[in-house]
Each structure stands twice: as C-alpha cells, then as structure tokens.
Amino acid sequence: MIDSLVIVAFAALIHASFQLSVSMLTLLSGHAIGSKIKHAKLLRLTFSFLLGSGVMTMLLLTFAAFVFERSFGQNIPPVVWAASAGLLLGLGIAVWAFYYRREPGTSLWLPRGMARYLSDRTKATKHSSEAFGLGLSSVAGEIIFILAPIVISALALIQLEPVWQLAGIGIYTIVSSLSLLVVYALIGSGHKLSRIQQWRENNKQFLQFTAGSGLLILGFYIYVDRVITVSGGM
C-alpha cells in the first residue's frame, strides 16, 4: 500500500513541475492587473482557475483508474507496467529535449493553434466561471506531458482498497496543484507578477531538467519494481 501511494505522490510532483497551467495563471493575473480590476476579484479569478485545474486533474485520474480497473482488475500484467515504464522513459527524454521552445521567455512546446487559442481565451477571461473553464482547459492542453504520470498513478491506485484509492486521488490532486498554489499564494500576498515571471524564466532549464529527470527516475523504478521483480518471482 505504502509503495503505491509513494508512486502516486511522486508522479504528482512530476505533474506539478510542468508549467502550462502556471503560465496561463500568470498570464491571467497579468491581464487582470492590467485591466485594473480590484484585488479581491483577481483572487476570485485565480482561485477559480486553480479549482478548475484541480477538478480536471481529479476527473482524468479517476477516469483512467476506472478504465484500468475494468480492464485488469487488481492483477495488472507485467507487460502493462513495462509499457507504462517505457512511456515514462520516452517522455522524460522528450521533455529534456524540447519542453520549452528555443527562444527567449517561457514559451512551451505546444501546437501553435492550441497555444494561440489558450492565450486568447486567457486574455478574454473576465468572470469566475470563465476562469474555471480555463483551468479545465489548461490541464487538457498539457495532456501529452501529464498522461504518463496519470497512467502510472491510476495503475497504482487500482491495487489499493477503495478508501485508500480515494486518499490517493486526493493526494495526487493536491500535490499536482502545488505550483499553482504557490503562485496563487504569492499573488494573494501582493508579490509582483514580474518577479514571479522573472524567476520562472531564470529557472526554466532547471524546471525542465527536473521534470525530465523525474519521469526517467519513476520509469526506471516502475520497470525494476513492477516488471523485473515480479517476473523474477514468477
């Protein structure tokens, strides 16, 4: 049980290291500040965005766990773990190679059309309901990068008792939202958005390396613990 929850928590930390939702939250905050809205409304918008992101993350993880539970029950074939480990390893190398675009700033590697759509939606957001929907979209927009952590977490969760499955979903949702929670707290406490963005730009290579390394570490662990060890014991 403990090792499954550790896998879930570590996968959630990897999820938290990805930056699309943070980029959209800072863009939303910057546009709202530029429109000279009241600080209380700014906090409502950013909280609604945070809530939407958390809800979408929880729904994706729950759906993945449901599909895997229906497909495999609690006896997951080693080949599924091996494929999932391969997904983590491949994605880790990809994140190392091209997560950020090779240009100044913190532009992420996303299809141009999607990036333009998300940017336009963010700038047009003025109400809490729109910010909530934007939070949902931010998670969906980064699905190519967060798919592997969600898949691994879902596979780990279905091996737990129902009460611990709920706890694991809660752990993943909260931990994966840590970067957004930090930005929300900084904005709420009056920190300048320019300093937050400058920190992100100065440390983007570290964030990219951390995300890629986390995926590789988790991939190797899953392969050793859930494939080699299980196959060796058979």
Q: What is the mean pLDDT of residues 101-127?
A: 70
pLDDT score recorded for residue 120: 80
pLDDT score recorded for residue 230: 66
Q: Is the pLDDT of residue 234 over 60?
A: no
Q: How many domains does the chain have?
A: 1
pLDDT score recorded for residue 26: 81
pLDDT score recorded for residue 10: 96
Instruction: Measure CA of the first residue to CA of the last residue in the chain; give whole Å.
Output: 21
Candidates 144, 212, 177, 145; CA nearest to 25 is 177
23-63 confidence digits (pLDDT tens): 788 878 776 766 667 778 888 888 999 999 999 999 999 99
pLDDT score recorded for residue 214: 94
Of 27-36, 77-86, 162-171, 190-199, the one with minimum mean pLDDT is 27-36
Query: What does pTM read for this prediction?
Result: 0.89
What is the rounded distance in angstroms from the CA atom of residue 19 to the CA atom of residue 204?
Answer: 9
Candidates 47, 23, 34; CA nearest to 101 is 23
pLDDT score recorded for residue 156: 95
128-142 confidence digits (pLDDT tens): 898 899 889 889 888
pLDDT score recorded for residue 37: 74
pLDDT score recorded for residue 41: 82
Candidates 76, 216, 98; CA nearest to 149 is 216
> Domain range for residue 35?
2-233
